[in-house]
C-alpha cells in the first residue's frame, strides 16, 4: 500500500487595520505617517530576523524580548494579526515547547512577510 501525500498550503490573510494607518495619517500628516510606516517596516523586519536567529540558537530570552517588541510595533502600525501571533509565541516560549515554538515562529514569519508586503502596497497608495 502506498501512502498518499497531500500538500496543504497554509495561507493567512495579512490583516492590516487600515483605520489605524489612516488615524496615524490624520494625526501625523501624510509625510510623517509614511516615514513612521517605513521605519516600522524596517524595525519589524529586523526583529523578525533576530527572533528567527534566537529560536534557532535556543536563546529563548532573546526570542521572547524580540516577540514582545514585535507586539508593540505591530499593534502601533495596525498589524493586529501579527500582534496576536507574537503574543502566542511569547506563551509557547514561556512553556519551552520546542515543537510549538518552531511552528508559531514559522507562522509569525510567514504572516510577517505577507503583512509587510501588504503594508508596503498600502504605502504605495499614499498611506
Q: For the chain, give every domain's residue range.
A: 18-124
Q: 116: which 3 cell numbers?
A: 509587510
The answer, yes or no, to whether residue 43 has pLDDT greater than 80, is yes
Mean pLDDT of 6-12: 52
Residue 57 pLDDT exceeds 50: yes
* Separation of alpha carbons 115 and 74, rounded Å: 10
Q: How is domain 18-124 classified at the CATH fold level?
A: 1.20.120
Phi/psi zone of residue 95: left (φ > 0), alpha (ψ -120 to 50 degrees), beta? Answer: alpha
The pLDDT tens digits of the residues spanning 89-123 come to 999 999 999 999 999 999 999 999 999 888 888 76
Mean pLDDT of 12-31: 80
Answer for the pair 122, 21: CB distance below 8 angstroms, yes or no: yes
Average pLDDT of the chain, as a whole number = 86
Q: How many CA atoms lie within 13 A of 71 on its CB side?
A: 14
Provide the pLDDT for residue 18: 81
Amino acid at each position: 500500500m502506498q501512502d498518499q501525500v497531500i500538500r496543504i498550503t497554509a495561507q493567512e490573510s495579512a490583516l492590516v487595520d487600515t483605520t489605524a494607518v489612516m488615524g496615524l495619517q490624520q494625526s501625523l500628516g501624510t509625510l510623517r505617517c509614511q516615514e513612521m510606516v517605513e521605519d516600522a517596516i524596517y524595525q519589524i523586519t529586523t526583529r523578525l530576523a533576530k527572533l528567527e536567529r534566537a529560536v534557532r540558537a535556543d536563546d529563548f530570552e532573546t526570542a521572547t524580548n524580540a516577540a514582545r517588541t514585535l507586539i508593540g510595533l505591530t499593534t502601533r502600525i495596525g498589524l493586529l494579526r501579527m500582534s496576536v501571533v507574537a503574543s502566542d509565541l511569547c506563551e509557547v516560549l514561556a512553556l519551552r515547547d520546542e515543537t510549538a515554538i518552531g511552528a508559531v515562529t514559522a507562522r509569525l514569519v510567514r504572516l510577517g512577510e505577507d503583512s509587510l508586503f501588504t503594508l508596503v502596497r498600502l504605502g504605495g497608495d499614499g498611506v
